[in-house]
Amino acid sequence: MKFLGLVLVGVASTAIASFCPAFSHYEEVKSKENPFNQLSSDEFSKAYQVIYDKFNLTSLEDAGPTDNYVEMLTLNPPKKYETLGYLNDDGDKPDRYAKVLIAHGVDSDPTIKTYTVGPLNGDDNEIQVHTTNASPIPFNSRRTKAHKDKMLEKVFIYYALAPIGSIIEDLLGKPWNLEEYMYLDQRANLDGDKRLRWLELSQKPDDSAFWGGFTGFHVLFDFTGQKFSDWKVLKVVYDDKVWRGLEDFKNDYDNGKIAKTLPQFTEKQLDHWTRRRPDVPVRDLENRTTPTSLSKDGLRYRLDEEENYVSWLNWGFFFSHNPETGISIHDLKFNDRRIAYEISLQEAVSHYSSNSPTNANSALLDRGIGLGEKLTPLMKGYDCAEEATYLSTRNWNGTHDVVTPNTVCIFEMPLLQPISRHYGLEDASANKASKLVIRSISTPGNYDYLIDYALFPDGTIEVSAAASGYLLQSHISKGGDDFGTRVSETTAGNVHDHVILFKFDLDILGESNTLVEKSIDVEERKFFWQDDDEEGYESKIIKSRNIEQEKAMNWPYNYDRWLLLSNLDKRTSLGYNPAYRIMPSTSVIHDTPGTQSRMKRNAVFSREHVYVTKYNEDEESASSVYNMILPNDPPVDFSTFLNNEDIVQEDLVLWANVGMHHLPRASDVPTTLFLETKSGIMLSPFNYGDEEFSRDLTNAIYATIDNVTDEITSVEVYNNADNCGIDPFSA
């Protein structure tokens, strides 16, 4: 990775040294081998060599649409119950297999097929290639990963529009070439029979101003098939008019029927639009650095960096990375009891509304773009806490594995409020609160998705997502105000939904669990201690029922219903079934009902807030890298997960959406703010024990108070060797 022209303004290294302490290093811990880890460099090489020889592969750098090449190579996840035997009982570690997606462009009927390759942890002579049960993907639905495939499409676009190049220059202000223009393209068909794509030209191809430089000039291309000669232009749209081919468009222009009516951004406007430091006065005291927090006694988490294992206070877990979805958490234990076998990101849906043809077809499932492949390096001191630990991830680039540094960070941060506190007449107490965060940021296009997995000392888990980056915009048009908000002189941000799905494979004191719904009903009750002529009480009554079959659910508008994943075979000493509650921690949404014209069966999971299904080895994931391109017949149809299976005391999986309805506004320019887009799900103990789990924290204070004079009579401060001289009760 190269950093060109980096300049640090107004900061001297001696000044930094004068007030910044040396950051601590994490404590090391030795864990078992991580069965969920991404393939090692050696495993990547073994798998690729086997399939290279077997399928006569061409490297991605040299491959075109008539070649065989690898679209994806990654770990094939181990089977749950085989893995549990290893994690629980010191059984054998599951064999390591690769999952490989191969585009068979050489075949007379070209398709994309899925294979497993392995075992990779044994003798090389025993490695086998197996075809999976996954249906072949139509070749027209390939993801344009091959280098020559990409170049052929660019070349075709350039030469196809060359006959109207002078018209483009007249209407849009710049000569027609791919140095002056870039394009946003969106698929326009719902299955793999064709390969249709709308594109809108943008005037700024060299930096992030591309997202604000859209011109209102749209072209519908047909890239069906493998032959350059079969590709064609189907439509042109400009200034709210449509032409069925370039010839009709050119004839109307030559006959004076097309006017230069759409305003365009100037170069100066575009350059200003993307700059973070406009020439304005510095705010009062903004010349000082922002506040920070440091671990004065050293970091409090332990890490096995080779196995991606973390322990913190009474928590322990593995994490892993894959190119489809990014970071996931595995074998998550609290007080040595497994809470979750897996918590993982599944899909990120961005569903737009527009009257422009390109954005009207923007129904994106970012897994298909590569949420895990697009993890970006984290900028130290900005994307994570200053003292965070940074780790790398590994992807396959078509011929070998590539390591991207600093794509995952781990840090502990204070909550800036106590986790518990009470100030009474005769005593006062408070416990300091913090959380451990595992963070990554994926940028699969215009948006940056910040994904956090956070753990709290009371046994609570929070999973959250937030979005920043650049709005997907379109050029202003007649009637466009119904679909979005103008954010510049020439472009509008279109209203859209962000729906981000997570999988929660929880195991509460074992794999046999039941989803229990508790709700508040209102009933009039008259009690034995009331007089006969007294009015009864309208009382809140707790109702409880077991969810007996697989189901889709929405959160109640007043949040007067609780979903508890409970173990009905266990009891606490108080007689309750131990459980974890799942609930929104911030605003959550599902896709806007009735807007699924461009999303058919490929994103069924986005239509409600939360789902419960029985664990099935064949339902490992709710989506796939090809779901976006095949709405009518997706490789993974989530509706088939919901087939009314009985789910009382079974191994259950919860699937929950977070996200936001995004109504753009002027203050989304130049970038949307993380601050206003965070959405999360929280999992908290619910009668999991007989009391709350933070009472043993030693970063705490307890004081006694004279209830007559209100004077502090004694103070016990636990584990507080250095409180920077602060007296908790000073005047």
The pair of structure tokens assigned to 710 is 């209100």
Per DSSP, which regions of 287-325 are E strands?
Answer: 301-304, 309-312, 315-322
Helix (H, G, I), strand (E, B) or coil at 665: coil
Q: Is 366 a catalytic residue?
A: yes
Q: Which amino acid is at 494?
A: N
Q: Find, among 359, 329, 355, the residue nearest to 214 by Cα.
A: 359
Element (H, E) at 505: strand 496-506
Q: How far apart are CA 375 and CA 368, in angstroms?
A: 14
> Please, are residues 410 and 436 in contact by the beta-carbon 8 Å criterion?
yes
Helix (H, G, I), strand (E, B) or coil at 415: coil
HSE, side-chain direction, 13 A CA sphere, residue 240? 8
State the DSSP string of 112-135. EEEEEEE-SSS-GGG-EEEE-SSP
Return the sign of the alpha-carbon dihedral for residues 383, 413, 584, 510. Answer: positive
- Cβ neighbourhood burial of 595 (10 Å; 0-12, 13-18, 19+): middle
What are the residues whose beta carbons fall under 8 Å from the beta carbon of 66, sequence distance 6 or more?
A: 105, 106, 226
Q: How far apart are CA 717 and CA 700, in angstroms?
A: 6
Beta bridge partners of 566: 514, 579
Radius of gyration of the chain (CA): 29
> Please, are residues 142 and 135 in contact by the beta-carbon 8 Å criterion?
no
| Catalytic residue (one of 447, 453, 470, 615) | 447
Given the DSSP bridges, would you call strands 27-28 and 301-304 parallel, antiparallel or unpaired? Answer: parallel
Q: Is 449 a catalytic residue?
A: no
What is the DSSP-derived secondary structure letter of residue 40? P
> Please, are residues 310 and 303 in contact by the beta-carbon 8 Å criterion?
yes
Q: Which amino acid is at 325?
A: T
Helix (H, G, I), strand (E, B) or coil at 190: coil
Whether the ω angle into residue 670 lies within 30 degrees of 0, i.e. cis, is yes
| Catalytic residue (one of 149, 366, 401, 448) | 366
Q: How far apart are CA 435 and CA 447, in angstroms?
A: 26
Q: How far apart are CA 619 and CA 623, in angstroms?
A: 10
Query: Catalytic residue positions?
Result: 366, 447
